[in-house]
């Protein structure tokens, strides 16, 4: 029965198509002067994203960013509780380190590959010598690990401008609700920020038409 | 506001399928004739053995209306039936939403061709999110490896399988662009595909007759046809479904990207945008001047694929 009705449906569809196509020829015409671009440009009233109440709960720990985007204040993913051995001053203090713990304590796992050629960065261009619990910029200003964009943006100011607006980086999980975006260090390994070369997650077959 | 766009608007979002729907009546009459021939069919029976319950549910499903002609009660009823059928037939507890669009929302997408590394995490996330057929390896999203200067994906390599990114290549993602002036909608003889008020082009799988006119009409390879029954391992089925989205399709119907309607109407990013590790995928509300997508349109060099066709895709490519 289902095969029969499927075939009948096809036949009917073909019939209807003939009728509809002849209708469409008179009804549709060409797209007029008002394109979707015009419609977008005319929309100047900010959308109240908070009314999309299903855009919660946030799956991650966030902090209020210290800067503004075009829609006001926003949040970024917290960084400090992602750093397994924070606070750094637990080790970086006056106490002596036993030799047998040396390998564990020297960050021997970190591969530094940041900056081109002769301009490779060294540890203390970002990490403060005096206070290991914060980052430091060229002028000696202290920057919290949760707000690393303030440091990265000192060199990568174009990326930072795009990141603030939303053309670089990404939002966390939701397009609606409170604006929560990823921090620089959520996606980039700060010690080796370029994305790696690797095999793709899958592959594609040719399309059948 | 009597512009051409309004006319399109009328054609694609307001022009409901006619009540005196010929397809439905035709099929109904035919099936009644068939039923009269085969004795003892249970009409609307929801009691008794699972087999008769299933038959009753299927019977009612068979005569339901086009989604856009259903009242809220009828929508809720079909959703309940489909959830029950999933339980009876596959032993799974799906939740099928019929959530409508938000007001003042028009979804749009932007793809950064200078950031994409060709990792295809988006493709894989989409397959899982949308319950795509694993047997024929159906994918809504395609990534093309391109040579510098090319801007037409058909000139690129869509079947690459090597370490990425390759030096001096760039990567371009293609999926349904949710055209405002969509040729696929115009081509459909049964009005089984239409554009929702939030801009998502959807398909009523139960109204599609599988003629594939839409597939031929789409200039962007946006549509996928089910030549067989889609197969998804039971433990990999995404149970959070939408009637117009990732609910299980069947043999002989068309399907395509729905901007993850089951996610985006809840405020989530589409699975592809959420999965992208490089931030090449920007999604949001085109009607919100503060949104990320609006920032891209305003501040970046953007272009659309085959812009001159007048299809008005809501999917832009941009460069850093
Ligand atoms: S991209 Fe193709 S399938 Fe998607 S709306 Fe446009 S014409 Fe239709
Ligand atoms: S395949 Fe389905 S959606 Fe496409 S034109 Fe035919 S009936 Fe319409």
H or E element, residue A174: none
Residues B126, B54 within the same domain: no
Q: Three-class SS of residue A108?
A: coil
Q: Is the pLDDT of residue A42 over 50?
A: yes
Residues B172, B247 within the same domain: yes
Taking only the tens place, the pLDDT of each residue in A96-133 is 878 787 777 778 788 899 998 888 999 989 998 888 88
Residues B88, B105 within the same domain: no
User: A41 to chain B nearest CA, in Å?
Assistant: 8
Domain residue limits at A65 = 49-95+110-187
Residues B230, B284 within the same domain: yes
Interval B24-33 mean pLDDT: 50
Burial class from Cβ neighbours inside 10 Å (0-12, 13-18, 19+) for residue A179 reads buried
Residue B111: phi and psi, rounded to 5, are: -125, 125
Tell whether A64 is within 8 A of chain B (Cβ).
no
Say if ligand 2 is within 6 A of residue B193 CB: yes
Between A87 and B234, residue with greater pLDDT = B234
pLDDT at A5: 54
Neighbours of B221 (CB within 10 A): 17
In a domain, A181, yes or no: yes
pLDDT confidence bin for A86, thresholds 50/70/90: confident
pLDDT at B38: 45
Q: Choose the final residue of a domain: B55, B73, B93.
A: B93
CA of A185 to the centre of ligand 2 (A): 46
Lowest mean pLDDT among A113-122, B22-31, B187-196, B209-218: B22-31
Selection from B228, B209, B214, B206 nearest residue A5 by Cα: B209
Q: Is the pLDDT of residue A20 over 60?
A: no
Nearest to A198 among B163, B227, B273 (CB): B163
Residues B177, B192 within the same domain: yes
Best A9, A17, A59, A174 residue to mutate vs chain B (most B CBs within 10 Å):
A9
Residues of chain A with Cβ-Cβ distance to B106 below 8 Å are 39-40, 43
Tell whether A25 is within 8 A of chain B (Cβ).
no
A79: its two tokens? 């960084």
Interval B133-160 mean pLDDT: 94
Domain residue limits at B75 = 2-93
CATH number for B139: 3.30.70.20
Residues B69, B101 within the same domain: no
Q: Choose the final residue of a domain: B63, B93, B123.
A: B93
Q: Is the pLDDT of residue B178 over 90?
A: yes
Q: Choose the final residue of a domain: B93, B116, B150.
A: B93
ipTM for this prediction? 0.85
**Percentage of residues in chain A with pLDDT exceeding 90?**
55
pLDDT at B45: 45
Lowest mean pLDDT among A27-36, A113-122, B69-78, B117-126: A27-36
Tell whether B269 is within 8 A of chain A (Cβ).
yes
CA of B140 to the centre of ligand 2 (A): 17
Pocket perturbation via mutation, ligand 2, pick of B185, B201, B214, B225 by most ligand atoms within 8 A of CB? B214
Interval B173-200 mean pLDDT: 97
Q: Quick one: which atom of ligand 2 is closest to the CA of B211?
A: 6
Overall number of domains in chain A: 1
pLDDT at B202: 98
In a domain, A57, yes or no: yes
pLDDT at A14: 52
Interval B126-151 mean pLDDT: 96
Q: Rounded to whole angstroms, how far apart are CA atoms B107 and B102?
A: 10
Interval A139-144 mean pLDDT: 93
In a domain, A152, yes or no: yes
Task: Return the residue whose CA atom lies nearest to atom 6 of ligand 1.
Answer: B179
pLDDT at B229: 95
Tell whether B281 is within 8 A of chain A (Cβ).
yes
Between B194 and A138, residue with greater pLDDT = B194
CB A173 within 8 A of CB B269: yes
């Amino acid at each position: 029965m289902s095969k029969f009705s499927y075939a009948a449906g096809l036949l009917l569809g073909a019939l209807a198509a003939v009728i509809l196509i002849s209708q469409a020829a008179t009804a549709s015409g060409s797209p007029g002067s008002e394109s979707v671009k015009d419609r977008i440009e005319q929309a100047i009233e900010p959308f109240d994203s908070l009314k999309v109440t299903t855009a919660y709960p946030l799956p991650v720990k966030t902090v209020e960013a210290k800067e503004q985007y075009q829609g006001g204040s926003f949040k970024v993913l917290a960084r400090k509780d992602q750093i397994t051995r924070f606070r750094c001053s637990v080790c970086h203090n006056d106490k002596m380190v036993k030799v047998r713990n040396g390998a564990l304590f020297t960050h021997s796992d970190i591969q530094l590959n940041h900056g081109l050629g002769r301009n490779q960065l060294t540890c203390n261009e970002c990490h403060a010598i005096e206070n290991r619990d914060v980052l430091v910029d060229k002028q000696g200003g202290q920057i919290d690990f949760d707000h690393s964009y303030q440091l990265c943006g000192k060199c990568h100011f174009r990326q930072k401008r795009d990141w603030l607006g939303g053309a670089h980086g990404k939002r966390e999980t939701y397009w609606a609700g409170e604006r929560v975006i990823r921090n620089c260090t959520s996606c980039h390994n700060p010690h080796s920020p370029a994305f790696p070369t690797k095999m793709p997650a899958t592959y594609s077959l040719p399309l059948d038409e | 506001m009597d512009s051409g766009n309004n006319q399109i608007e009328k054609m694609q979002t307001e022009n409901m399928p006619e009540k005196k729907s010929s397809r439905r009546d035709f099929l109904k009459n035919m099936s009644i004739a068939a039923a009269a021939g085969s004795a003892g069919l249970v009409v609307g029976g929801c009691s008794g053995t699972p087999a008769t319950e299933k038959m009753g549910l299927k019977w009612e499903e068979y005569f339901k209306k086009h989604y856009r002609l259903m009242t809220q009660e009828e929508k809720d009823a079909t959703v309940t039936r489909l959830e029950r059928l999933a339980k009876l037939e596959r032993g799974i507890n799906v939740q099928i939403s019929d959530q409508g669009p938000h007001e003042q929302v028009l979804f749009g997408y932007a793809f950064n061709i200078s950031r994409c590394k060709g990792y295809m995490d988006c493709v894989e996330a989409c397959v899982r999110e949308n319950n795509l057929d694993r047997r024929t390896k159906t994918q809504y999203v395609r990534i093309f490896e391109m040579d510098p200067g090319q801007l037409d994906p058909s000139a690129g390599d869509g079947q690459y399988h090597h370490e990425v990114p390759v030096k001096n290549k760039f990567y371009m993602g293609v999926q349904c662009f949710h055209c405002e002036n969509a040729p696929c909608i115009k081509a459909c003889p049964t009005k089984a595909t239409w554009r929702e008020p939030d801009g998502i082009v959807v398909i009523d799988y139960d109204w599609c007759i599988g003629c594939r006119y839409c597939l031929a009409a789409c200039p962007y390879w946006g549509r996928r046809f089910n030549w067989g029954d889609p197969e998804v391992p039971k433990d990999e089925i995404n149970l959070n479904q939408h009637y117009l989205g990732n609910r299980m399709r069947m043999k002989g119907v068309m399907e395509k990207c729905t901007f993850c309607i089951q996610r985006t109407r809840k405020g989530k990013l589409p699975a592809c945008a959420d999965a992208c590790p490089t931030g090449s995928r920007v999604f949001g509300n085109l009607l919100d001047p503060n949104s990320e997508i609006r920032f891209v349109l305003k501040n970046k060099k953007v272009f659309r694929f085959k812009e001159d066709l007048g299809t008005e895709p809501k999917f832009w490519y941009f460069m850093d």
